[in-house]
């Protein structure tokens, strides 16, 4: 299955996520079933097949914990330093295909799904807080800034152009150019 991602998604990943505390960049490869580790300055692979996972789609990092969604919609937890699997079923799928993820400083994991929603989970336990926290059409990229604003890059600009900022506490929708 061929996927296309916008420049906005890439910018969100570079600004708000994808790197760890050691300054390394992680990239999923759906086709090869791997998560690679790369040098963010040169783009050189540190380990192009750092983690093997069935059709990885999205990832998020929190400290030394790397969360990877797989095609089934499950989320696995890995050690970001070693690549060791910590929890093969950190979040169990409810049938939603997870295409983007982000974490915040308040201990939450957010997931963007093909079913046009952003879910919210407890980052420590994987417990569901709200599977359909915010309705956003095809959130192919999500990120949380240092002020706690949740951003979503959507595929269908006709309905919600560009990047959307969602205020997590009031559910206020603000379009950003």
Contact 49, 66 (CB under 8 A): no
Tell me how far apart the alpha carbons of residues 10 and 125 are, in angstroms, rounded to a whole number: 28
Is-contact 88 69, C-beta < 8 A?
no
* CA–CA gap between residue 28 and residue 71 (Å, rounded): 12
C-alpha 143/C-alpha 141 separation (Å) is 7
What DSSP letter does each residue of 21-69 carry, written as one string? TTS-EEEEETTTTEEEEE-TTT--EEEEEEEE-SSEEEEEEETTEEEEE
> Domains, the chain, ranges and CATH?
7-176 (2.130.10.10)
| Digitized pLDDT (tens) for each residue of the chain, 177 residues in all | 334 333 333 333 444 444 455 678 888 888 899 999 888 888 889 999 999 999 999 999 999 999 999 988 999 999 999 999 999 999 998 888 999 999 999 999 999 998 889 999 999 999 999 999 898 888 988 999 888 889 888 866 544 444 444 444 433 322 222
Q: Are 112 and 96 in contact (CB under 8 A)?
A: no
């Amino acid at each position: 299955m061929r996927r296309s991602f916008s420049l906005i998604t890439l910018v969100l990943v570079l600004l708000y996520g994808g790197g760890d505390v050691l300054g390394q960049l992680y990239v999923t490869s759906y086709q090869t079933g791997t998560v690679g580790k790369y040098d963010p300055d040169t783009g050189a692979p540190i380990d192009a097949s750092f983690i093997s996972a069935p059709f990885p789609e999205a990832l998020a990092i929190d400290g030394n914990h790397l969360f990877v969604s797989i095609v089934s919609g499950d989320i696995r937890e890995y050690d970001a330093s070693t690549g060791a699997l910590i929890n093969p079923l950190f979040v169990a799928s409810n049938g939603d295909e997870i295409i983007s993820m982000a974490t915040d400083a308040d201990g939450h994991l957010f997931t963007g799904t093909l079913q046009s929603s952003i879910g919210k989970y407890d980052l420590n336990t994987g417990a569901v807080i709200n599977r359909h926290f915010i309705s956003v059409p095809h959130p192919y990229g999500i990120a949380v800034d240092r002020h706690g604003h949740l951003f979503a890059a959507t595929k269908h600009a006709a309905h919600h152009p560009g990047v959307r900022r969602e205020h997590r506490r009031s559910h206020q929708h603000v379009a950003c150019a």
